[in-house]
Each structure stands twice: as structure tokens, then as C-alpha cells.
Structure 1
């Protein structure tokens, strides 16, 4: 074993030890992802709801980790309730659920995005998004007028913008600067009913632990009849947080990983005995792009047409906004400024100043100075960072 091999071996061992120490000593951080997992105690998990669900449904709740398609193929059920909470469901499974509802069962879908299979079957409506930081969920029934829940952390802001006459509105989202929008509806389907609520956050740990919020959840589920409820959940297997959990959880990837490590060890072992021959130095081709850009810039400065330069810079910036942030740039109004501020994270003052300079650049009769060009160039580059 020569000196080179020892060096490689030490480096490899040190790297693995560092990775292990980082994994063991990493600080616990709050996971604000909307996972809707019944095992998760993070803010947007469903651990609390899962714990209280038996009492909420009077011990008539049954959790199923099969797909509705597989479950109903092997189980013949009388009239019952069906609950789906922000879970991936395939087309065949939705058809099975709709078959059960048409035969007299009731289904409650608490999902932020309405599946096309459902909307096509029960009536067409759009789902829209609000960007408000806070909103309030209320029910339309007068007996529930004192029961509401305030969403102050990452509300989805989803609602139904078009409702057919036969659809009954049971709940709405209330915001300060926007009109109320329906978020909880009921549709008669065959012999049963379909309830759709498009804001599942009210069931998460963060909101259920706040005083008084549990009453809103009780009111929502009170629309279901007092009978057996089938809750279709995803697999309840506890997910490891180890950074290589995905690779090690798949047999093929796990074997490939060990083969890779073994190959690296063999490579280092045999390569250490060989000396790399001298590689001739080849001068790379010179990149003249920067010189070309400098030359074009000098021509513009010599002409002194700052207005044209500002117009081209504004045109390039708006094109980047359309491509990278998917924001319509036809109207540079307050709504455009708000969307750009949300996408970039910059201050609204910076955004508004940049918009004023862009409008000045687009005005063929505006008087433009060199300082205007420099300021706009600095602001637009800062926004696109």
C-alpha cells in the first residue's frame, strides 16, 4: 500500500465521518411544508386530527390505506360516508367513489385542487387563487355564524369562481381587500351527496391546536350523516429523515449505490499504482463575447442615446419577467407590481420605482438623462437576482 492510496483512503473516511456528524448534529427546524400526513407533528401535518378523528366521527371512522378502486373491488358496502383529504387518487378510484355516491353514499372531498374527474361529473366551476396573507373561513348556515377559523399562515386562497345553480354553497372565504368567495359546496349526485372543501389547512395541527378552531372542523363534518365513514389515506409507514432514504428504500438503487462505492474503492486502489502521464497544455480558444459587448456599449455611449438604451433594457426586463416569473406585462399597474413583489421578494418601493422608470423609457417623448439609465439598470438587475 503506497502513500497515494493512503491519502485517498484517509480523505474518503474523513468525508464519510463529516457526513455522519452533520446528519447526527443537524438542528431541528420547523417543517412548514403542507404534507397533510397523519403521522407528522409538523404544523401542516394531520397528527392531531387523526388522534381526535375517532371521537369526531363517534367511533365510526375506518382508515383505509388502499386505493378506492382496490377497496371497492373487494368490499361491497351499504350506504356510508367517504372522506378524502388532500390525497392522490387515480381516475379509476374517482369513478368508484362516484359510483358509491350515486348509490346513496355521501363523499366529502377536502382538497385544494378539484380533480377534473369530479368537476366534470358534478358540474363545471373554476378554482381561483388569492394572494392575501390572511383570511377567514366561515360557514353560511346561520346556526354556525359564531364558528369561524382565521388562517394566518400560508392560506391557499382557493375558491370557486363559477357555481352552477344546483350547487349549494355551505362555506366561504372572507378577506379584507377581496370579495367573499365560496370554498365549501354541496352537490346532489344520484342518491347521495358530494361535499367539496378546497381549503384543507383547517384540519392541520397548527390550526386545530388554536383555541376555538376545533369547533369549525366539527361544523364542517356535521354535514355528514351519522354512519360509517371510510377515510382513504396514503400509506401510514413512517418516513425516515435520513438524507439517503430514497436511495436506500429502493432495492435497485441501494445495490447500485454499494456497487458505486465498491467501484470507487477499486478505482482508487488500482489507480494509485499508476502515474498519470503528462497532459500537454492546450491553449483554449479566446472568448471574444465580452469584448464584443463592450464595443457595442461604447458605441451607444458615444451616440448618447440614453432613451433608446433605456427602452431596450426595459424590453429585455419585461421579457425575462414573462418567461421566468410567468407574469403578464401588458399592464404595468398595481396588480403587476404586487405579483412581481411576491415572485421576487423585493420591496414594493423598489418595484414601483422600477416600473416608473420603465414607463418613462417606453414614453417616446420623455426626457431621459444618463442618471435615469444608470438607476434603472441597477434596479432591474437587482430585481432579477
Structure 2
């Protein structure tokens, strides 16, 4: 067992002991964030409402995991109910919802902060009305006067002001030190109706599990007609990565994740000082074929045997003609010239000049000059292009 391995083993044992002590002494903490997650079991999640909604809406509730704009662009619906609970919805989706309401559908918006441009177009303004630690939500209708809910944990203190004439106030926030403020309103919009509630906390696990509070929730939704209700739960802008959300939401996986990151940092730290063996420089293999060709070329130039070089060039050219162009080179006559001209597309002047030089190269008694070698080399290369 080498020294480095021992160091890693000791550090690993120390980290595991520390994590075990933290786990044993850890106190359960309550997550009071207002997440409004339909699967969240924290106090301000919607797990209870999500499970009871089916019975609450008499099996007429349908959850939509698409944005309203996307859904209504793909589906044509008759008159129905629309439910939105504390979700940020883009402007185009709001337009689609307003179009549906204008044609006879009803929309219930249970949102603490409705965008200003949306609320202005409808005819009200949502604002902070209270900073009290306790609020009581009541109805204005006398038949519901005994049904109320007391918010004793982090009420939003939101309500409606600047309400246009003709808007019906269905519910109010009641406090001891302040005047009553509207928190639940009804607005006629085209052929349909918009219901807006500014305090979605009454739908959360913490309040629904308290005795007597379910009645208030039932009364709120009793204003909707008994027909199909679409509950839009899609919200891509606030959805985190499923992988990290699952790991960090599970205590055991969370500790394993941090242990992995810690081990990775330690590994990098201890290996940063390791000396790397010098990598030898390997010279690439030389192209000896090119050297050989250069040597042969220099030899011919030194000897000055232009006739032999010209003959070899002619021999190479005729071999290429036989193999590539499939022309018989036995007789370098007029028929050969025509075939070569048709296959290569060169002029007859060029072809005839090349044939003349080839014949000169094949004649062992012909007198060949350096200029002849250069000319035949140029002509034959041009023909074979």
C-alpha cells in the first residue's frame, strides 16, 4: 500500500465520519417556500389539492401540461372553464385565454401577481394591501358568510384596487386594523366571465389540511359552471433540470453528490503536483520516395541524355492512353490522332504536334534537344488533363 493511497483512505474515512455525524444531528427543517408544486408535499405545495381536485370538479377536470398558446393553437374547444393557479403565462397565451373567454368560456385566475398589462386590459389592478401576519378571507355573499379561512402563515397581502365599474366583488380580506380589501372579483368579458383571486395560499397543503378550510375552497370553485375545466399546469420558465432537482431533493443523493464533488476536488489537488514524464519527440518518417525521384532526376540532368528522358515520357504517355482512354497505340497514324482528339477534346494541331514529338522520341537516331524535351512534356501533360 503506497503513501498516496493511505492519504486518500484517511481523507475518505474522515469525510464519511463527518457526514454521518451531520446526518445524525440534523434537525428536520420545514420548507416554507411558496412553490405551488402540484406534487409538492411541503406546506405551500399543491399535493392535497391535486389529489382532491378530481372529486372537487366532479371528474370534469383536465390537466394541461402545455402553454395555453400552444394548446389552443392545436385544439378547438367549445365553451369550458379555464383554471390558472400561480403560474407565469406569456402574453400570447393570455390573448388565447381572453379569446376563449370572449367566446363564452369562463376563466378563474388564482394568482397573487397578475401582470399589469393583463390586469389593465381586464379592468383592475393587483397591489399590496396589507403587511399583517394574519389575514381572514371571507365572501361577500351572505349564503357563504360562515365559510371563511384564516391565513396565519405568510399571507401575500395582495388585493385588487382601481376596479372598474360593473366588477362584482365576491370576496374580501378582513383585518382588525385595516379596512376590508377585495381579493376575489368577477368580471364580465365578452360572452364569458373572468374570476380573479389574489391569494392562492388557500389551496396549499398547509391550509387545506386544517379542519373547516376545505369548505372555503369548495365555495370559490362553485362559481364556475358545471362543465369541463382545463387546468394549465405547464410552466417551462421556472422548471429546473429534472436530474439535479431529483438529486438535490433527496437527502441521501444530495450527500452522495457533494461527496463526489469533494472527492473530485481532492483528486485534482493531490494529482496537480505529479511530475509528468517527458514525452519524447518522435520525428515523422521521411518520404524516401520523393528523395529517390529527385536523385534520379538530377542524374538525368547531369548526364544530359534528353533523348532517353523524352523516350520514357512518350512511353509513359502511350501506356496511359491504352489503359485510361482504351486507344490502340500500335500505329500512330491519322486514325489514332482522331480517336485521341475525340477522347481528350484537344485541338488537332496539339494532337499532331504531340504525335510528331513522340515519333521523334522513338527514333533512336533522331537528334533531341533540351527544348524538345520541355515541349513534349508540356504537350503530353496538357492532353492528359
**TM-score normalised per structure 2:** 0.61
For each residue in 1:124-175, what CA deviation from the matched residue of structure 2 results, as whole angstroms up to 9, or x when unmatched?
4241231111121111111111111111111111111321112211110000
Corresponding residue number in structure 2 for 1:186: 186
Sort the Cα spacing of 1:213 and 1:267 in 2 relative to 1 into closer, same or farther, 3 A: closer
2:3 equivalent to 1:7: no
Partner of 1:49, secondary structure, is: helix
Matches within 5 A, 1:144-183: 144-183=144-183
Aligned partners of 1:94 and 1:117 also within 8 Å? no
How far the C-alpha of 1:204 sits from its partner, in A, is 1.1
Corresponding residue number in structure 2 for 1:119: 119
For each residue in 1:95-122, what CA deviation from the matched residue of structure 2 results, as whole angstroms up to 9, or x when unmatched?
2111111111111000111122421320
Aligned partners of 1:125 and 1:163 also within 8 Å? yes
**TM-score normalised per structure 1:** 0.61
Aligned partners of 2:126 and 2:198 also within 8 Å? no
Alpha-carbon separation, structure 1, partners of 2:91 and 2:160: 22
For each residue in 1:319-377, what CA deviation from the matched residue of structure 2 results, as whole angstroms up to 9, or x when unmatched?
xxxxxxxxxxxxxxxxxxxxxxxxxxxxxxxxxxxxxxxxxxxxxxxxxxxxxxxxxxx
Matches within 5 A, 1:75-114: 75-114=75-114
How far the C-alpha of 1:242 sits from its partner, in A, is 3.9
Alpha-carbon separation, structure 2, partners of 1:181 and 1:27: 40
Partner of 2:125, secondary structure, is: coil
Aligned partners of 2:124 and 2:160 also within 8 Å? no
Sort the Cα spacing of 1:211 and 1:126 in 2 relative to 1 into closer, same or farther, 3 A: closer
Partner of 2:133, secondary structure, is: coil
Q: Which runs of 5+ in 1 are unaligned?
A: 275-385
Partner of 2:131, secondary structure, is: coil
Matches within 5 A, 1:218-367: 218-234=218-234, 240=245, 242-243=247-248, 265-272=267-274
Sort the Cα spacing of 1:238 and 1:49 in 2 relative to 1 into closer, same or farther, 3 A: farther
- Size of the aligned set, in residue pairs, is 266
Partner of 2:185, secondary structure, is: strand
Partner of 2:69, secondary structure, is: helix
For each residue in 1:289-318, what CA deviation from the matched residue of structure 2 results, as whole angstroms up to 9, or x when unmatched?
xxxxxxxxxxxxxxxxxxxxxxxxxxxxxx
Corresponding residue number in structure 2 for 1:370: none
Sort the Cα spacing of 1:241 and 1:16 in 2 relative to 1 into closer, same or farther, 3 A: farther
Q: Which has the larger radius of gyration?
A: 2
Corresponding residue number in structure 2 for 1:131: 131
Aligned partners of 2:54 and 2:60 also within 8 Å? yes
Alpha-carbon separation, structure 2, partners of 1:244 and 1:214: 29
Corresponding residue number in structure 1 for 2:214: 214
Q: Which runs of 5+ in 2 are unaligned?
A: 277-385
Sort the Cα spacing of 1:17 and 1:130 in 2 relative to 1 into closer, same or farther, 3 A: same
Alpha-carbon separation, structure 2, partners of 1:177 and 1:138: 16
How far the C-alpha of 1:270 sits from its partner, in A, is 4.4
Alpha-carbon separation, structure 2, partners of 1:148 and 1:260: 52
Sort the Cα spacing of 1:244 and 1:223 in 2 relative to 1 into closer, same or farther, 3 A: closer
Sort the Cα spacing of 1:268 and 1:84 in 2 relative to 1 into closer, same or farther, 3 A: same
Alpha-carbon separation, structure 2, partners of 1:272 and 1:79: 72
Alpha-carbon separation, structure 1, partners of 2:158 and 2:210: 22
Alpha-carbon separation, structure 2, partners of 1:242 and 1:21: 21
Alignment RMSD (CA, Å): 3.2
Partner of 2:62, secondary structure, is: strand
